[in-house]
Amino acid sequence: MSLVVTQNIVMVPILDVVKTNVSLVRKIPITVIELNVNQHDSAGFNFTVTDEVGDPILFTTMAEVVFSVARRKNANSLISLTKTSGRLYEIAANQFYLELTSAETGSLDPGEYYCEIRYSVDSRVATLGGGIFRVADTQIGDL
């Protein structure tokens, strides 16, 4: 499975960087992702999902898609966006978009968090990727 992430605010190099795209190839157990946001800024992400041979996995076939941010893997989610809540939505056949609000990024202290993207099709649940979600302290006077 392959996951391509485009971050509209800050691009994050992970495995293979092509200017504004980060190309992620699924590894066992999950694809490693790394995202950076500025505290109190809105941040948008485009995701393109394909299977092992490059064929699209259609967003419409996914019963649910969940993007979560937590302090660490075994902690409760601090931010959770879902397809069914309308916070993740289709922009093309195998592409979806999510946007974090300035209130959501502002609710996180500067530092490193864990994030992951999971989806379900039929009764199967799979993790597309997981890794670091870094919040930069960018507010004047917050130093």
d(CA 65, CA 21): 21
Strand 16-18 to 111-121 pairing: unpaired
What pLDDT is stored for residue 69 in this prediction? Answer: 97
pTM for the structure as a whole? 0.75
- Domain coordinates in residue numbering, the chain: 2-136
CATH 2.60.40.1930, domain 2-136, yes or no: yes
Both tokens assigned to 115: 């994030």
Q: What is the model's pLDDT at position 30?
A: 61
Q: What tens-digit pLDDT sequence spans the chain (143 residues)?
A: 555 555 433 323 233 323 334 444 443 346 778 888 999 999 888 888 777 777 777 788 888 999 999 999 999 999 999 998 888 888 888 888 888 999 999 999 999 999 999 888 888 888 888 899 999 987 765 54
Per-residue burial over 106-124, b if 16 or more Cβ lie within 10 Å, else e, is eebeeeebbbbbbbeeeee
Q: How far apart are CA 133 and CA 70, in angstroms?
A: 9
- Tell how many helices (H) and how many strands (E) occur in the chain: 1, 11
pLDDT value at position 91? 87
Distance CA 69, CA 82 (A): 12
